[in-house]
Amino acid sequence: MLIRPYSPDDWDAVWTILEPVFRAGETYPVPRDISAADAKAAWTSGAKQVFVAVDDSSGHCLGTYYLRPNFEGAASHICNCGYVVSEQARGKGVAARMCEHSQTQAIARGYRAMQYNLVVSTNESAVHLWQKMGFAIIGSIPEAFRHPRLGFVDAHVMYKRLSPPAR
Amino acid sequence: MLIRPYSPDDWDAVWTILEPVFRAGETYPVPRDISAADAKAAWTSGAKQVFVAVDDSSGHCLGTYYLRPNFEGAASHICNCGYVVSEQARGKGVAARMCEHSQTQAIARGYRAMQYNLVVSTNESAVHLWQKMGFAIIGSIPEAFRHPRLGFVDAHVMYKRLSPPAR
């Protein structure tokens, strides 16, 4: 598996990965009926740096993630990421590899911490993976996410320090 | 005191209120050297609905706040606000009145909850006021804010339900 920067030529492959996840509406706070154009803007525009995980031999896209500042100004040392793995590539460690890669990228860019703002509590495999990767649940937002089958469920704010304590 | 929707004609008065707060850099995650144009975009553009609190008799602007969705899609029922009170009008209940007003506006717009993403822990008057207004600290982000005098300080995520429990 190779993780490399996204280029606009990758969009069709990336959208193939994102679309079923956004349409399912169980993990990301994105409108389920979002258009491809709006999804492209949401995933790749602004201050985001986007990466793709591709299969070494076939070149197939296995997953994608973005890295961006989570806040500006006096809190711009905290970054945020979003990760999506292709349905065909689940359970192969792609998310863990992208998470590791994103932390290395974040440290190289001078970020001091990484924060996930809305980890849906019922997405247990994600919650457990991020905990395994060193992220802590620093708070839970009650009924933050309207799950299509489960109704209103909580979501976690998760955080990992990327550098030694400042104090 | 009257609280009414912001109009573009209010910008000069609003900027007079915002500028010293942004320049001080002690409470809002906005670049301290932000230009007036960028501040205008940050405070009034996108999905934000902006209000001003004005003195009934003089018409002077006492404060301003924005209301916006904090997330999209399946979490778009949670809103976010930012409030700034004129330095000359501190201690007169302007923030409390704007907070009440924003909750009424939020409920009218169908929001179910209000979330503040980054309440700087050293901004004790704000933390106490929001608690008095019914907001709970649901988590604290370690060293989230680089305070110009105090260095890295924590910031709180605060939350208030605006409707009865969904379950």
A166 to B159: CB separation less than 8 angstroms, yes or no: no
pLDDT score, position B22: 98
Contact assessment for residue B78 and residue B114, using Cβ atoms and an 8 Å cutoff: yes
Instruction: Profile chain A (167 residues) by mean pLDDT over runs of 10 residues.
Output: 97 98 97 98 96 95 98 98 96 97 97 98 98 98 98 98 72
CB-nearest partner of A118 from B75, B146, B155: B75
Q: A18 — contact with chain B (CB < 8 Å)?
A: no
Candidate from A30, A31, A142 with C-beta closest to B159: A142
- The mean per-residue pLDDT over the stretch B19-30 comes to 98
Instruction: Say if the Cβ atoms of A138 and B142 lie within 8 Å.
Output: yes
Predicted model pTM: 0.96
B-chain residues near A113 (CB < 8 A): 141-144
d(CA A29, CA B69): 12
**Nearest CA-CA distance, residue A140 and chain B, Å:** 6
Whole-number pLDDT of residue B156: 98
Contact status of A75 with chain B (Cβ, < 8 Å) = yes
Whole-angstrom Cα distance, residue A42 to residue A66? Answer: 10
Whole-number Å distance between alpha carbons of A44 and A48: 6
Per residue in A70-94, pLDDT (tens digit) is: 999 999 999 999 999 999 999 999 9
What pLDDT score was predicted for residue A163?
75
pLDDT at position B164 is 66
Q: B34-75 pLDDT, tens per residue?
A: 999 999 999 999 999 999 999 999 999 999 999 999 999 999
**CB distance B71–A140 less than 8 Å?**
no
User: Which residues from chain B sit within 8 angstroms of residue A30, using beta carbons?
Assistant: 72-73
Contact B66, B50 (CB under 8 A): yes
pLDDT-based confidence at residue B135 (cuts at 50, 70, 90): very high
From the centroid of its chain, how far is CA B64?
A: 8
> Three-state SS for B8?
helix
Q: How many CB atoms lie within 10 A of CB B154?
A: 15
Residue given tokens 């110009």 in the structure block: B148
Contact A30 B159 (CB under 8 A): no
Asked whether residue B166 carries a pLDDT value surpassing 60, the answer given is no
Distance CA A4, CA B40 (A): 36
A50 Cβ contact partners less than 8 Å away, ≥ 6 residues apart: A5, A6, A14, A43, A44, A64, A65, A66, A67
Q: Say yes or no for a CB contact (<8 Å) between A145 and B31.
A: no
Interface of A with B in 107-166 (CB under 8 A): 112-113, 115, 117-118, 138-148, 151-152, 155, 157, 159, 161, 165-166
| pLDDT tens column, B77-103 | 999 999 999 999 999 999 999 999 999
